[in-house]
Amino acid sequence: MSVEMTSRERVLAMLERKPVDRFPVITGSCMVAEYINRSGGFWPEYHSNAEMMVDVAGMMHTDAGMDNIVVPFGMFVEAVALGLEVNMGRITIQPSVKGFFKRPEDVKCERFLNDPYVRTTLKATKLAKAKFPDVAVTPFLVGPVTLAGYLMGVEKLSEMSYRCLDDEKLMDEIVEWFSIALEINRLYAGACIDSGADALYYSDASASPNLVIPDFYYRVGVPAEKELGDFIHCLGCPWELHICGNTIPIIEGMASTGANCLSVEQAVDMREVVEIAGDVPVAGNVTPLMMVEGTEEQIIAETRKGLDGGAKASMLGCGTPSLSTPDRLKLWSGAVAEWSREKLG
């Protein structure tokens, strides 16, 4: 294919399994300290100021050469909007969720969309679309297993994940927490799509076999992600699913959710994942630390390894580290372009 595509066209074509002019290079969460400083952003303001957020996130495209722009900068918005305690981190540390609810009936979602952080995501999505119409704007959202874990407490989720499988009463409670998580997921997804999102990027970090057993993921996680994914597809939007850790035992489940792209960590072998995922495009696997301290040779080798393994887009294993250096990010996107030139002509 010789006609040059815009970044947005390239990402959407990849998600729709259509030909691309070159393989897209995409990012998940990104809160790169150097771009925050360069764009005049400051902590914690860039978490709640849409203009500042887009100025920082936009540099992942304008400077680093990514094909997508990602807002917001962490997996805390859903939790903070529900009134849970959140540690706002620092310029190098993403915010993290601390609190949880005692009972499902304590969760109140009526005012979710009025929360200032949720509104910042929506405003930033609109703004990014207006400023960068040729780039894929992919809001970064928390998947249902992870959100249910925020609601009930992540330790309780982990513990109940194996006990509930043969305890009907515990399963009823799990179902209750998950149905609230899905209600919030749907509210937020719908609002992001209304704001112009090109695709939704879900991290369902807590669905990892590191935290819940694969049987639980298949019985509870997959149906929840699929339900959310079907809702998103009904609104005409594609979505991506990221799960951390060694996901080999659950790739088949991830692929069955209907996600348009699976994102995996460096803990897994790309070839093996691609084989299990079948037709579903896979991205990820590039060691994030490469962007902080990798040499040119290492970055190029690591990038090529993922693409040679069958990845349909180049992506880091987890989010882009805060201490990533712009020169390394550019080496990475350059390596993807070079690989594509060789393979696609």
Contact footprint for Zn ion (CB under 5 A): 244, 318
Half-sphere exposure of 111 (CA within 13 A, CB side): 9
The answer for residues whose C-beta is within 8 angstroms of residue 205's C-beta and 6 or more apart is 75, 143, 146, 211, 242, 243, 244
Nearest residue to Zn ion, using CB?
A: 244
Q: What is the smallest separation between the CB atom of 245 and Zn ion, expressed in angstroms?
A: 7
Q: Of 288 and 294, which CB lies nearer to Zn ion in the complex structure?
A: 288
Q: Of 66 and 318, which CB lies nearer to Zn ion in the complex structure?
A: 318
Report how far apart, in Å, the C-alpha atoms of 90 and of each of 32, 74, 96, 100, 203 are. Answer: 12, 12, 10, 22, 21
Q: What is the smallest separation between the CB atom of 9 and Zn ion, expressed in angstroms?
A: 27
Q: What is the smallest separation between the CB atom of 277 and Zn ion, expressed in angstroms?
A: 17
Helix, strand, coil percentages, rounded to 5, for the chain: 55, 10, 35
Q: What is the smallest separation between the CB atom of 281 and Zn ion, expressed in angstroms?
A: 17
Q: Of 66 and 191, which CB lies nearer to Zn ion in the complex structure?
A: 66
Strands 140-142 and 200-203 come out as parallel
Between the two ends of the chain, the Cα-to-Cα distance in Å is 8
Q: What is the smallest separation between the CB atom of 258 and Zn ion, expressed in angstroms?
A: 20
Q: Of 75 and 276, which CB lies nearer to Zn ion in the complex structure?
A: 75
Q: Of 60 and 318, which CB lies nearer to Zn ion in the complex structure?
A: 318
Q: Which of 345, 262, 267 is nearest to 310 (CA)?
A: 262
Q: Of 70 and 180, which CB lies nearer to Zn ion in the complex structure?
A: 70
Q: What is the smallest separation between the CB atom of 263 and Zn ion, expressed in angstroms?
A: 8
Residues in the chain: 345
Strands (E) in 213-320, as ranges, are: 239-242, 261-264, 282-284
Q: Is 235 left (phi over 0), alpha (psi -120 to 50) or beta?
A: alpha
